[in-house]
Amino acid sequence: MRITLIENFRAVFYAPYYAALAQAVAGYFPGIPPATLSACCRDDLALGLWNRDPVVQREGLLWLRDAALGTDLIRKRYSYEDCVDMRFADEVVAEDPPALPEG
């Protein structure tokens, strides 16, 4: 994949942002190096996988589940309700916090 000047600038400019995101979620992923988490945050944002709010979309989660099943990453066909508890997300949306910067 060829990286353009703008993509390279964006990667450098947002690197501290990705590192901060990685640090915020690091406790949920023990044993994964910070650089790996930062790269995952960067890639997820670049691919448009990062929601603008904390609401987990049913379609997105089911797509991810089916992709994981198809590659044998998981073996059980979990339901949306098995994986998601939207009580906290609904509370955050109701609080209307400031938006994340565009990445």
Model confidence pLDDT, tens digit, residues 48-83? 777 777 788 888 889 989 999 999 988 999 999 998
Query: Cβ distance 65 to 54 under 8 Å?
Result: no
C-alpha closest to that of 51 among 9, 94, 2, 89: 89
Nearest 5 degrees, angle CA 46-CA 47-CA 49? 110
pTM: 0.49
Cα–Cα distance between 69 and 63 in angstroms, integer?
10
- 78 vs 46 pLDDT, higher one: 78
Residue 3 has pLDDT above 70, yes or no: no
pLDDT at residue 48 in the model: 72
Structure tokens at 78: 């979990």
